[in-house]
Amino acid sequence: MRPINNTGYLMQRLSFLLARQSDQILQEQLGIGHSQFKILMVLGWDPNIGQKCIADKLGQTEAAISRQIKLLKELGMLTSEINQTNRREHITVLTAKGQRLTDKALEVLNSYHAPMFELLSDKQNERLHESLSIMHEYVCRNEKPGIKHGLE
């Protein structure tokens, strides 16, 4: 069987290519990488989580997340605060500048990928979204211990 006829291969290859293109376009236009963007997104969705939880959600190591968070703090995109429920723990929070950059990054990526989605009819786009949502839910629900998954 040729790889192009294998749905799993196509999904993995498309995911890889989209991530690489997203990284390149974000670097060129906003000066951040796709990994940093994903951290900003996670913090925008759930502002009261620690680095370990971010690492788990993104399927990355805590060390990798820590390095990216340090860079984002230096850029003024994030700040750390003491967790009010556990004073020994610090949580990372988006700054207003970080929120503006996240919003801009979403605009950039949506604009960049729009021509790809325009190849599909409205009905095809709707079915694609429904199908991906079902598959994402299945993968998250059936996650094996120790295997990390992407954004929820």
Q: What CATH number does residue 108 fall under?
A: 1.10.10.10
Give me the percent of the chain exceeding a pLDDT of 70. Answer: 91
Please say if the pLDDT value at position 84 is more than 90. Answer: no
Please say if the pLDDT value at position 149 is more than 80. Answer: no
| Residue 141: inside a domain | no
- Cα separation of 70 and 68, whole Å? 5
Please say if the pLDDT value at position 108 is more than 90. Answer: yes
Please say if the pLDDT value at position 83 is more than 90. Answer: no
Total domains in the fold of the chain: 1
Strands 90-94 and 78-82: antiparallel
| Residue 21: inside a domain | yes
| Residue 144: inside a domain | no
| Residue 109: inside a domain | yes
| Residue 14: inside a domain | yes
Per-residue pLDDT, averaged over 127-142, amounts to 90
Q: Whole domain around residue 21: which residue ranges?
A: 3-119
Q: What is the pLDDT of residues 10-69, one digit of tens each?
A: 999 999 999 999 999 999 999 999 999 999 999 998 887 888 888 888 888 989 999 999
| Residue 143: inside a domain | no
| Residue 148: inside a domain | no
Give me the percent of the chain exceeding a pLDDT of 90. Answer: 62
**DSSP structure string for 3-63:** GGG-HHHHHHHHHHHHHHHHHHHHHHHHS--HHHHHHHHHHHH-TT--HHHHHHHHT--HH
